[in-house]
Amino acid sequence: VNEKQPSQASLNTWLGNRARSAHVVMVGLQEIEMGSTSVAQAAFMDKLSLNEKGNTNAAWWRRSINQALASLEADPLVWCLVALRQLSGMLVLVFVRREIFPYIGEISTDSVGCGVLGVGGNKGAVAVGFSIYRSYLVCANSHFAAHQKDVEKRN
């Protein structure tokens, strides 16, 4: 998202009717923040096991996406956050409808940084896994080196 925070109206339009018929909504974002400070903060948050809470940028996205989902429904409490995971500028959020939330279990999150020095959070992946009705889902979001010339770096 290039460190941009869109308007609530843009998010509502973006999620639109697709979310209206869904039971699970996963949103993966990259570049919610960038720079060396973000990478250093991600390492610190990982050591303190705070990546499942996210920082203020992750909280903004969580609230805004939740509001966008709520705007599609007559009951604004229809959607529940299953989990989120942040690593530097990468974020994954998973929401489910309230009526199936009791059937969600085995929630886990993880992240792998493979950017700066092979461990930095500027490149890598974040994931949320959970069971739903005895089936297991994993929602992953990755951000790797861009451009055709960097295929080897991505692999």
Kindly report the pTM of this predicted structure: 0.84
Residue 72 in domain: yes
141 near 127, Cβ under 8 Å?
yes
pLDDT of residue 20 exceeding 90, the answer is no
Residue 83 half-sphere exposure toward CB, CA atoms < 13 A: 22
51-66 per-position pLDDT tens digit? 667 888 899 999 999 9
Domain annotation covers residue 81: yes
- What residue type is assigned to position 91 of the chain? L
> Cα Rg for the chain, rounded, in angstroms?
16
Residue 71 is part of a domain; what is its CATH number?
3.60.10.10
Give the count of beta carbons closer than 10 Å to the beta carbon of residue 144. 15
The values of phi and psi at residue 27, to 5°, are -125, 125
> Which domain does 131 fall in, by range?
8-146
In a domain, 1, yes or no: no
pLDDT value of residue 147: 66
In a domain, 153, yes or no: no
- Domain for residue 61, yes or no? yes
- The residue ranking higher by pLDDT, 143 or 94, is 94
